[in-house]
Amino acid sequence: MSEAVIAAKEPKVLELEAGTYHYCRCGRSANQPFCDGSHQGTDFTPLAFEMKEKKKVALCQCKQTKNAPFCDGSHKNL
């Protein structure tokens, strides 16, 4: 499997509305941390996740988290 591109070494903190989102797992999206289709031709696919209610979240941009799409602090070891 290909390695993900590190989009940033810090999480993206956002307030998301309830709904379905598609998290970029390849790191190539110009719309980080969300998928824009840049994974085409790679081994990666986006991760669909649902927010049940409006909430402030920290989404991983280093692509090393073990709790995708949420930041687990893995960027501190890069």
pLDDT at 56: 98
Query: Tens digit of pLDDT per residue, the chain (78 long)?
Result: 588 999 999 999 999 999 999 999 999 999 999 999 999 999 999 999 999 999 999 999 999 999 999 999 999 999
The pTM of this model reads 0.93
Q: Which two tokens stand for residue 55?
A: 């909430």
pLDDT at 60: 98
pLDDT at 1: 59
Burial 48-72 (b: 16+ CB within 10 A, else e): ebeeeeeeebbbbbbbbbeebbebe
